[in-house]
Amino acid sequence: MKPDRVALPSTIDLWDTGGVPATGELEPVDGLSDAQIERAVLDQPRFERRELFRNIAAVAGLLGAGAVVAACDMVQNTTDPQLHLLRRATFGLDATSVTRIRAIGTAAWLDEQLDPARLDTAAVEAKVAQLPHVNASFAALKEAATAGEVGSQVRLATVIRQVESPAQLFERMVELWSDHFNAPISDSRSGLLKTIEDRSVIRPRALGRFADLLVASAKSPAMLVYLDNAVSVKAAPNENYARELLELHTVGVGNYTEADVVATARLLTGWTVNPTTGEFIFRSTNHDSGSVSMQGWTRPTSGTALSHGEAYLTHLARHPATARMVATKLARRFVTDFPPATLIDDLAAVYSANDTAITPVLRTLFNHPAFTSATNSKFRRPLDWVVASIRALGATVLPATDTRLRQVGNVVAGLGQQPFGWPAPNGYPDVEGAWLTTGGLLSRWNLSGDLVARRLGIVDLPIDTLRSGVAGRSTVDAIDLLADRVLHEPLTAGGRSLLVSHSGLGSVGRLTTPQANQLVTAVVPLMLASPDFQYR
């Protein structure tokens, strides 16, 4: 029994997203900081979560899938600390991660994730290597068929790693820093350079010191071109990068002045890109070597002009306001949309005490009372939900370079979030109010059916494994088996009853193979589309 594909009338809007559309590319809001945009979105009038889901189903006239999805809590939402850690530190529960943490324990599992060199990522990296543009040289990228094809391969590589890599926390941090130091791969000037930045700047430093990552980002050709520092010279300093460096990357709104922006821009003149090699280069002839003083830092009288800029960036990384900025970013991603002050204080203190090292901060975060008490409350962003669904099904993603290449990209673009697709410097929003929309939810409901029906050729779903052991069981026992396999939590009585009803089979005592196949096709998409699965 295939779930119906549904569409919401365009005139209906149950959620005011403050200008953020439910589907398609999200538009930046000029003149506002990331925090201001998030606050504006969250200050909109809001539905209670269950009421929102129920009203969407009613307005859209969903008598099948929607009625089941919206009517009740699907699972019991246990507060199992291991499942909670997996939901936040990975891209979603799968059989492998659950088995691993149960076998070695929470502390040992976290130790592994915080030291990804201990994990064998050879298989997933071999798969990514089948996408030729991902590891190509700058010269080869310039000769590529189209920039769009390059971008599609890099996006697909991102999804493959998020779905399949055993180094899940590492991939989470790659995503976080890609948002923090956002440079869209779709930018016509810097897109090809972003391909190199992903592999040479962000990934090698994702679990290192923030100071090192900040310096590497400032020298990244993609960032230099995207925010115009590549054309910033002594005679005409460009302030774009300097402003975003202070506002978005380090100290944040309210902690810098216009004079700081001007002085920072002057200090970083001459930091540019070699157009032949696509590499960072410092041109001293274009550098303003005059004295500058900002953010409690003054240019020294010794050393090179390039080292002065590096020293200033390290100073910014160590600034108390940056410590709180990074602490807030981590807490929002892994704990809650509005982190409590005690959590921010504790994380910022660890950050400063460890000279901007991120691993000790994450260890503190995942052991903090604020984290352990925040179960089942963080709304999945679109890409997060797609990847979590693929992982829950035990599926993998093919490194296709044919017409299937853009399937995943098109899917997540339709939901509003492609990897490296946010056009503004502030990165994709990380709060529920930016994503919990009627159109967005309906797109997820439809996509859950497409995944289980194997309509996406680029997603390799082992349907026989998903169906294994279902035939020969009663309807109720089979549904419980599927819930354990996909959701890893027990169903509520109401959820079980509604899934039995929606299956169209009733209370069969012993399912035949055709009935088992019908059951899987009918109820598994609803598990993925349920309100519970939208949260982690």
Nearest to 21, CA basis, from 6, 2, 31, 8? 8
> For residues 488 and 100, is the Cβ–Cβ distance under 8 A?
no
Using the predicted structure, report yes or no on whether residue 47 has a pLDDT greater than 70.
Answer: no
Other beta carbons within 10 angstroms of residue 6's beta carbon come to 18
Q: Which tokens belong to 6? A: 């549904």
pLDDT digits (tens, 9 = 90+) for 229-266: 999 999 999 999 999 999 999 999 999 999 999 999 99
Contact by Cβ (8 Å): 217, 201: yes
Q: How confident is the model at residue 410 (pLDDT cuts 50, 70, 90)?
A: confident
- Residue 2 pLDDT > 50: no
Percentage of residues in the chain having pLDDT higher than 70: 86
pTM of the shown model? 0.90
pLDDT-derived band at 147, boundaries 50, 70, 90: confident
* Residue of 254, 181, 262 whose CA lies nearest to 428: 181
**Gap between the Cα atoms of 65 and 62, Å rounded:** 6
Q: Are the beta carbons of 397 and 1 closer than 8 angstroms?
A: no
pLDDT exceeds cutoff 60 at 69: no
Pick from 101, 106, 52: nearest CA to 371? 106
Chain centroid offset of residue 259 CA: 34
* Residues whose CB is less than 8 angstroms from the CB of residue 302 and which lie 6 or more positions away in sequence, other chains included: none
CA 131 to chain centre: 21
Round to whole Å and give the CA distance between 508 and 512. 9
Q: What is the pLDDT of residues 379-391, one digit of tens each?
A: 999 999 999 999 9
Give tens-digit pLDDT for 323-367.
999 999 999 999 999 999 999 999 999 999 999 999 999 999 999
Q: What is the pLDDT of residue 21?
A: 33
Mean pLDDT of the chain: 88
CA angle (395 as vertex; 390, 397 as ends), nearest 5: 85
Q: pLDDT digits over 30-44, tens only?
A: 444 445 544 554 444
Q: Is the pLDDT of residue 65 over 80?
A: no
* Window from 43-57, 179-193, 195-209, 365-379 with minimum mean pLDDT: 43-57
pLDDT, average across residues 112-136: 97
Structure tokens at 39: 């606050």
> Tokens for 380?
């999945």
Burial class, 471, CB count within 10 angstroms (exposed 0-12 / middle 13-18 / buried 19+):
middle
Kindly provide the b/e burial profile for residues 432-464, where b requires at least 16 CB atoms within 10 angstroms of the residue's own CB: bbbbbbbbbbbbbbbbbbebbeeebebbebebe
Whether residue 60 has pLDDT greater than 60: no
Beta strand residue intervals within 165-307, DSSP E: 271-273, 280-282, 293-294, 297-298
